[in-house]
């Protein structure tokens, strides 16, 4: 009997193995870009999770409609679908279970490849048509970031620029409450990015959360040493564009020696030398233009005088100078005269008119911090509670802007300004800050000074966090 049982067992195993050997199933799917357009000529690979001989891996290529098909896969088996091309890379994969014997599994949703990581490390967002790049800079500050950007020639392109806040937010595929910051305990943190609006020299150090976008994974450059730049995807790199050769006139051999003789003539030689010297002298003449930019920082001194003048008129206007200080900096290069500023004051008042209210705690406050500290003091906490009581339950946008004094390195000043903003936000959340409020975190380091850094009182004014609530 034992022999019979063994023979039956071997027979059953053999029937099972040989019977399964011919069983096959299929998988069909589609690959599209960020705008839903099919991607053709893309290699698609399906790899079995638990390899079985003869069913381990299959390859196919997408057609003009972006569709791929596999036949001969093992029925009811797990496979990982991945994409491969020699032009770019992507992290997009999909795990599927094949259909039963003789059936083809048709994927209900297409595989969406939004980000293409190029060979040069740049990332093309197929949804917005923007090309992104993380560039390595050294000793970055608000004063030299724009100059660094102007010198970027990566990929043979010269039109790289700083992204706008809206463009930076568009990278996130997962919607957040604030557009930049919803939870402080997210595992992927990109920290901070320089941003700038079009046709403006004003830049900001903006807090940003990484939700797994290919842009951040394509670079290992620390946040303090990098500049994230962007451009419209497409175009031909400068290195690829052939030089333009103008057609030569038929009589060019005749004037050629004449030109040489003119160059060798000693008489005109001093003339270009004098002209070049004049041009060199002209460079210092342009220096005042650069000094005007430098003067943007001390331009806050007249702003403080305006504060004193306005303070004499009414106590409630004390809130406005804080916001007018940056406005005055921008407006001063255009017009320095007092009458022009007087005309611009009503326009400035029209924007924050909703914010100015006759209350000790308005829609904007400033909190001050000790040296190298991010702790919210008892005085600041009381101020913050009164501020929160005023905005509690109201939908709107809350801008939390951190600052530091001029001591320390550029990266250190930026970091502590952001840490102070985050600590204030954390305190507000503990007080019960509503999800209806969109929060925008900023860290500006020492870019916007409220006082002189050569005095104790001035440095204290600079170690601050400004909160502005916009209903």
Asked if 382 and 465 sit in the same domain, the reply is yes
pLDDT computed for residue 418 by the predictor: 86
Helix (H, G, I), strand (E, B) or coil at 232: strand
Asked if 363 and 444 sit in the same domain, the reply is yes
Asked if 223 and 318 sit in the same domain, the reply is no
Mean pLDDT of 249-263: 46
Using the predicted structure, report yes or no on whether residue 396 has a pLDDT greater than 60: yes
Give the Cα-Cα-Cα angle 97, 100, 101 (nearest 5 degrees).
Answer: 130
Q: What is the pLDDT of residues 349-362, one digit of tens each?
A: 333 333 333 334 45
Edge-to-edge order in the sheet of strand 123-125 = 88-89, 115-118, 123-125, 130-136, 226-232
Asked if 391 and 463 sit in the same domain, the reply is yes
Asked if 50 and 125 sit in the same domain, the reply is no
Please give the share of the chain, as a percent, with pLDDT higher than 70: 64
Q: What is the pLDDT confidence band of residue 125, given thresholds at 50, 70 and 90?
A: very high
Using the predicted structure, report yes or no on whether residue 68 has a pLDDT greater than 70: yes
pTM of the model: 0.53
What's the total number of domains in the chain? 4
- Closest to 298 measured CA to CA, from 342, 340, 337, 329: 329
CA distance 131 to 129: 7
Q: What is the pLDDT of residues 294-313, one digit of tens each?
A: 333 444 444 444 444 433 33
pLDDT computed for residue 4 by the predictor: 57
pLDDT computed for residue 61 by the predictor: 96
CA distance 85 to 360: 63
Helix 338-350 and helix 320-331, axial crossing angle in degrees, nearest 10:
130
Residue where one domain finishes, among candidates 232, 267, 293 = 232
pLDDT computed for residue 242 by the predictor: 58
In a domain, 84, yes or no: yes
Asked if 42 and 109 sit in the same domain, the reply is yes
Asked if 46 and 127 sit in the same domain, the reply is no
DSSP annotation string for 22-72: T--EEEEEEEEETTS-B--S-EEEEEESS--TT-SEEEEE--TTSEEEEEE
Q: What is the pLDDT confidence band of residue 283, given thresholds at 50, 70 and 90?
A: very low
């Amino acid at each position: 009997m034992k022999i019979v049982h063994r023979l039956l067992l071997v027979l059953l195993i053999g029937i099972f193995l040989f019977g399964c050997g011919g069983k096959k199933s299929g998988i069909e799917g589609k690959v599209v870009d960020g705008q839903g357009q099919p991607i053709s000529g893309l290699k698609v690979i399906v790899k079995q999770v638990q390899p079985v001989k003869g069913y381990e891996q299959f390859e196919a290529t997408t057609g003009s409609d972006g569709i791929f098909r596999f036949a001969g896969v093992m029925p009811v088996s797990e496979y990982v679908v991945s994409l491969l091309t020699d032009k770019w890379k992507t992290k997009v994969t999909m795990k599927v279970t094949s259909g039963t014997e003789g059936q083809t599994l048709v994927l209900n949703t297409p595989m969406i490849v939004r980000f293409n990581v190029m060979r040069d490390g740049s990332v093309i967002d197929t949804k917005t048509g923007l090309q992104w790049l993380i560039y390595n800079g050294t000793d970055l500050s608000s004063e030299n970031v724009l100059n660094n950007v102007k010198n970027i020639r990566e990929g043979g392109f010269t039109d790289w620029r700083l992204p706008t806040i809206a463009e930076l937010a568009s990278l996130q595929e997962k919607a957040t409450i604030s557009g930049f910051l919803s939870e402080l305990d997210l595992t992927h943190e990109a920290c901070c990015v320089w941003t700038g609006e079009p046709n403006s020299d004003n830049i900001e150090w903006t807090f940003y959360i990484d939700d797994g976008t290919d842009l951040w994974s394509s670079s290992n450059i620390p946040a303090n040493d990098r500049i994230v730049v962007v451009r419209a995807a497409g175009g031909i790199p400068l290195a690829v564009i052939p030089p333009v050769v103008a057609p030569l006139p038929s009589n060019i051999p005749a004037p050629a020696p004449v030109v040489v003789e003119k160059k060798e003539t000693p008489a005109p030689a001093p003339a270009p030398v004098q002209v070049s010297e004049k041009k060199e002298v002209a460079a210092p003449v342009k220096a005042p233009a650069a000094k005007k930019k430098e003067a943007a920082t001390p331009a806050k001194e007249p702003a403080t005088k305006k504060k004193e003048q306005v303070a004499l008129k009414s106590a409630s206007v004390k809130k406005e100078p804080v916001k007018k200080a940056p406005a005055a900096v921008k407006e001063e290069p255009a017009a320095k005269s007092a009458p022009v500023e007087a005309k611009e004051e009503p326009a400035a008042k029209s924007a924050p008119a909703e914010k100015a209210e006759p209350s000790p705690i308005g829609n904007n406050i400033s909190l001050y911090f000790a040296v190298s500290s991010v702790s919210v003091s008892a005085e600041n906490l009381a101020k913050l509670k009164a501020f929160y009581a005023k905005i509690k339950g109201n939908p709107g946008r809350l801008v939390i802007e951190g600052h530091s004094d001029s001591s320390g390195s550029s990266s250190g000043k930026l970091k502590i300004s952001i840490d102070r903003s985050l600590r204030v936000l954390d305190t507000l959340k503990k007080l019960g800050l509503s999800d209806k409020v969109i929060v925008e975190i900023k860290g500006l380091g020492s870019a916007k000074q409220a006082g002189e850094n050569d005095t104790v009182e001035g440095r204290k004014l600079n170690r601050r966090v400004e909160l502005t609530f916009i209903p």
